[in-house]
Amino acid sequence: MPSHDVLIIGAGLAGQRAALAAAQAGATVAIISKVHPVRSHSVAAAGGINAALNPEDTWESHAFDTVKGSDYLGDQDAIEVMCREAPDEILWLEHAGVTFHRNERGNLGTRAFGGASAARTYYVADITGHAILHVLYEQLMKHSDTVDRYEEWFTTDLLQDDDGRCVGAICRNLRDGHLEVFNAKSVILASGGAGQAYRPTTNGLIVTGDGIAQAYRIGARLMDMEMIQYHPTTLAGNGLLITEGARGEGAWLLNAKGERFMEKYAPNKMELASRDVVSRAEQTEINEGNGFPDGTVALDITKVPKRRVLEALREIVNIGRDFAGVDITSEPIHIHPGQHYIMGGVKTDVDGQTTIPGLYAAGEVACVSVHGGNRLGANSLLDTLIFGRRSGEHAAGQSRQMSMPTTRSTRVDDAARHIQEIIDRPSGGRRVAAIKDELGDTLNQYVAVFRDEEGLKKAHEIVRRLKEEAPKASIDDRGAVFNQDVIGAIELGYMLDCAEAIVVGALERKESRGAQFRTDFPERNDEEWLKHIDVTANGDDVPTVSYSPVTITRWEPQERTY
């Protein structure tokens, strides 16, 4: 049985940063990923990472922008930690080998991003996630004596001892289908978001909410789950992202009448208001008949000098050409708001500790909460790195004071039985993909930019029905080697758990704040709703809802305008 001080599930930016920190603190580490680590979804991150590193900027200004961006739902102690530690993290990355853009004076250069009062986004063209992920992977190699990498292993369940402490996980080797129990003093979940519960989404096929659901199933508290970010610029139909970097470089948003409509909604920040504000503005234009017949508005990148586009936005030149047949350097491209990010997740403190002893969470799977009701662009990469590192350090520190726990290996028999039951399902039933598509369309229709009670109740009914159908969904592949059908069936269960927590949270919050805009409760209501909504599992029943306070350190809630 593999035994390590720290077991990390997920090898995106949060997981790899946690692994490096734990290894540097002297712990033995296992890091598990269902895909090769550099194919983790962090590789898609485009526009950049925020830090107040410029001498004219301050971490307090970054923190205030983040608090305001969160619509005052972010916990200010956590936001202070993230923004204070950001400059050193950027320098650490630079020294580790990330080739951040440099300006004509040779200094680290920045671009503007939404909701920020200063240009503080550091970037590598529009492949920032790719650049950072590869450097971290390279750094991990240096620790190969203490860090064991389990690439293309899939975690199915988290394990607890008799006292409820998380002491490991059950994982399936995707190459041959065999199951193994991993034993650990601490477990760090770094398994990313849940975007695939929606259709379309900017998130890759692997982003299926596994960690959120696994933690929820063993009793962890989820928080702010109703807060789903719709990114303002995604391609119609396929959800592909056009990075906010385009607007940061000067692109305009136009309706079908050629009007620069953000003048009406955010006269000061225009296209660079926060994402919830811009997405709502676009959707309002589209709903009021000012959009194009394909349900979009236009992003005009021709405002940015062509030379600069080819230097700093070259990936979206390719995306425009290959997926929309548009040369973005010479004509506007049609876009609309699309699902992009989940602000909620497994509730943690600033060291990544969840409500389950021994279980940590970092990155998009977690809710610290630094994003509250709305994440600012380029704050997620920062979140993964700061809280990935802090979780790794804390877990390593704890492991020094502990002996290796023992895990009941009989749990592996339950997991094996569950997989066999999926394989043995009679063929001809409703397929996993059909259920997943219905789930995605439902959330995209009723739990999107605008929501109301009637739609949310309908969404909840559909999710409950799909939860009954999912255990009977049939698969085709009955083999052991790289059986993605089996994995898809398990992931469907995770997405349905996440979906129910999202819908229940959205129904509960009877106000409009950040990404949650209730047309039946259109105002923010601090008196009643300046609090987090926590969701916990309740067997097979509807989840239990409770509340926790928002931490306010120095910024009292104000009216939010851009």
Ligand X SMILES: Cc1cc2nc3c(=O)[nH]c(=O)nc-3n(C[C@H](O)[C@H](O)[C@H](O)COP(=O)(O)OP(=O)(O)OC[C@H]3O[C@@H](n4cnc5c(N)ncnc54)[C@H](O)[C@@H]3O)c2cc1C
Minimum CB–partner distance for residue 502 and ligand X (Å): 16
Under rule CB under 6 A, how many of the chain's residues touch ligand X?
Answer: 43
> 249 φ, ψ to 5°?
-85, -5
Minimum CB–partner distance for residue 472 and ligand X (Å): 22
Nearer to ligand X, 253 or 343 (CB): 343
d(CA 439, CA 196): 9
Minimum CB–partner distance for residue 46 and ligand X (Å): 5
Vertex 469 angle, CA 466 and 474, to 5°: 125
d(CA 399, CA 27): 7
Options 172, 275, 451, 509, the catalytic residue: 275
Nearer to ligand X, 93 or 507 (CB): 93
Residue from the set 160, 196, 380, 391 that interacts with ligand X by CB under 6 A:
380
Minimum CB–partner distance for residue 349 and ligand X (Å): 17
Alpha helix ranges (H) inside 431-483: 432-446, 453-469
Nearer to ligand X, 167 or 495 (CB): 495
* Residue 174 near ligand X by CB under 6 A: no
Vertex 174 angle, CA 170 and 179, to 5°: 30
Residue from the set 87, 129, 248, 320 that interacts with ligand X by CB under 6 A:
129
Nearer to ligand X, 203 or 354 (CB): 203
Q: Which of residues 354-373 bind ligand X (CB under 6 A)?
A: 363-365
Buried b (16+ CB within 10 A) or exposed e, 106-134: eebbbbbbbbbebebbbbbbbbbbbbbbb
Q: Which residue has the tokens 């811009």?
A: 278
Nearer to ligand X, 271 or 285 (CB): 271
d(CA 383, CA 23): 20
Tokens describing residue 7: 């077991």
Contact status, residue 369 vs residue 387, Cβ threshold 8 Å:
no
Contact status, residue 189 vs residue 32, Cβ threshold 8 Å:
no
d(CA 492, CA 498): 10
Minimum CB–partner distance for residue 12 and ligand X (Å): 2
Vertex 199 angle, CA 196 and 202, to 5°: 65
Residue 149's identity, in one-letter code, is R
Minimum CB–partner distance for residue 152 and ligand X (Å): 9
Minimum CB–partner distance for residue 369 and ligand X (Å): 14
* Residue 42 near ligand X by CB under 6 A: yes
Nearest Cα neighbor of 188 from 342, 32, 78, 40 is: 32
Minimum CB–partner distance for residue 214 and ligand X (Å): 7
Q: Which of residues 45-104 bind ligand X (CB under 6 A)?
A: 45-49
Nearer to ligand X, 18 or 447 (CB): 18
Distances (CA, A) of 240 to 63, 138, 231, 392: 29, 28, 10, 32
Nearer to ligand X, 333 or 456 (CB): 333
Nearer to ligand X, 49 or 63 (CB): 49
Up-side HSE of residue 92: CA atoms within 13 Å toward CB? 15
Up-side HSE of residue 445: CA atoms within 13 Å toward CB? 14
Which residue in the shown chain puts its C-beta closest to ligand X?
12
Helix-helix angle 484-508:432-446, to 10 degrees? 20
Minimum CB–partner distance for residue 363 and ligand X (Å): 2
Q: Which of residues 302-341 bind ligand X (CB under 6 A)?
A: 341
Residue from the set 28, 40, 70, 139 that interacts with ligand X by CB under 6 A:
40
Three-class SS string for 287-314?
HCCCCECCCEEEEEHHHCCHHHHHHHCH
* Residue 348 near ligand X by CB under 6 A: no
Site string for ligand X, 212-251 (x = CB under 6 A): -----------------------------x----------
d(CA 191, CA 169): 13
Site string for ligand X, 183-212 (x = CB under 6 A): -------xxx---------xx--xx--x--
Site string for ligand X, 414-453 (x = CB under 6 A): ----------------------------------------
431 is catalytic: no
Minimum CB–partner distance for residue 84 and ligand X (Å): 17
Nearer to ligand X, 206 or 507 (CB): 206
Nearer to ligand X, 28 or 128 (CB): 128
Residue from the set 21, 333, 381, 473 that interacts with ligand X by CB under 6 A:
381
End-to-end CA distance of the chain: 55
Tokens describing residue 442: 């439902």
Residues at the contact surface with ligand X, assessed by CB under 6 A:
9-15, 32-35, 37, 40-42, 44-49, 128-129, 154-155, 190-192, 202-203, 206-207, 210, 241, 341, 363-365, 378-381, 384
Question: Which residues are known catalytic residues?
Answer: 275
